[in-house]
Chain A
Amino acid sequence: MRLDYEVIGNTLVVKLKGELDHHVAEKIRAEMDDTINKNRCKNLIFNLSDMRFMDSSGIGVIIGRYKKISQFGGKVAVVQVSEKVDKIFNLAGLYRIINKYSTQNDALNSL
């Protein structure tokens, strides 16, 4: 799994490319927290257009980042969610705390 970062205003956009499972979760967690701290970003957008696989380990990673961002009053969004990933997000009730948008621009305009 590879991460691409882009800072737009006070929002950090993270593009997750590849497969997110338990094996890569710890590394992703550390890398993302480091980037959030360095850029002092308020909001966070996960762009999932290039995510090929995710299991419940990914839920843990996303909820963990949500906890961090919301502590300081920020918001978290997910964009370009595939049907497969959507199924797991719904199952975990993720959309009760995180909003889903079809495009990155929609999310940027709403945060």
Chain B
Amino acid sequence: MPYKNHMKLQFDSKSQNESFARIVAAAFAAQLDPTIEELADIKTAVSEAVTNAIIHGYEDNMGSVTLECSIKDNILEIIIEDNGKGIEDIQQAREPLFTSKPELERSGMGFTVMETFMDEVEVISEIGKGTRIRMQKKFNSLKEE
């Protein structure tokens, strides 16, 4: 039987919750016996996705963000979902250095960071409905034992 575990967390789209979400995801990933570098990768990717949900999904409105983490054997899947305004052009949003908010000194590197630090990143978005980011990362440390 493959090892399985799952958690789901819902929080307000407040910027205070960016650090809350990345710490929760890292704590959940701890059971995969990750390296310090792998933990940092997860924290950073979650921070990017949650920040996107807060500043782009909801802009100045208050909403709800969902963080869902699943473990299947040595694979961690993270889903970050909002019910915000959605992304008009996903391909453009994923381009390095593209930002819809240059006035806020956003670097436009959010998706590039997620793609670099995780093995797989899938973005599903619908205008007026929201955005769902699904990321996967494989951990090898458990298998080597």
Stretch at the interface among B4-12, B81-89, B102-110: B102-110
Q: Given A22-B55, A23-B16, A55-B113, check contact A84 B105 (CB 8 Å).
A: no
B55 neighbours in A (Cβ, 8 Å) = 22
Q: Given A21-B19, A23-B15, A84-B37, check contact A91 B105 (CB 8 Å).
A: no
Interface residue range, chain A: 20 to 34
Q: Indicate if A83 sits at the interface (CB-CB under 8 A).
A: yes
Interface of chain A residues 7 through 63 with chain B (CB within 8 A): 19, 21-23, 25, 29, 53, 55-57, 59-61, 63
Q: Do the beta carbons of A84 and B40 come within 8 Å of each other?
A: yes
Q: Given A55-B47, A55-B48, A57-B51, check contact A22 B18 (CB 8 Å).
A: yes
A86 to B110 CA separation, bound complex (whole angstroms): 16
Q: What's the least CB distance linking B29 to chain A, in Å?
A: 15
Q: What's the least CB distance linking B30 to chain A, in Å?
A: 16
Per DSSP, are chain B's interface residues mostly helix, strand or loop, or mixed? helix
A84 neighbours in B (Cβ, 8 Å) = 37, 40, 44
Q: Do the beta carbons of B109 and A59 come within 8 Å of each other?
A: yes
Q: Do the beta carbons of A56 and B110 come within 8 Å of each other?
A: yes
Q: What's the least CB distance linking B81 to chain A, in Å?
A: 18
A63 to B107 CA separation, bound complex (whole angstroms): 8
A64 to B102 CA separation, bound complex (whole angstroms): 10
Interface residues of A (CB under 8 A from B): 19, 21-23, 25, 29, 53, 55-57, 59-61, 63-64, 83-84, 87-88, 91-92
Interface residues of B (CB under 8 A from A): 15-16, 18-19, 22, 37, 40, 43-44, 47-48, 51, 54-55, 104-110, 112-113, 116
24 examples of A-B residue contacts, CB within 8 angstroms: A19-B19, A21-B19, A21-B47, A22-B15, A22-B18, A22-B47, A22-B54, A22-B55, A23-B15, A23-B16, A23-B19, A25-B105, A29-B105, A53-B44, A55-B48, A55-B51, A56-B113, A57-B106, A57-B107, A63-B105, A63-B107, A83-B37, A84-B40, A92-B107
Closest 9 CB pairs of A and B: A23-B15, A59-B107, A56-B109, A60-B105, A55-B47, A64-B105, A60-B107, A22-B51, A84-B40
- Supply 11 further A-B pairs (C-beta < 8 A) apart from A53-B40, A56-B112, A60-B107: A21-B18, A22-B18, A22-B51, A23-B15, A23-B16, A23-B19, A53-B22, A53-B44, A61-B105, A64-B105, A88-B44
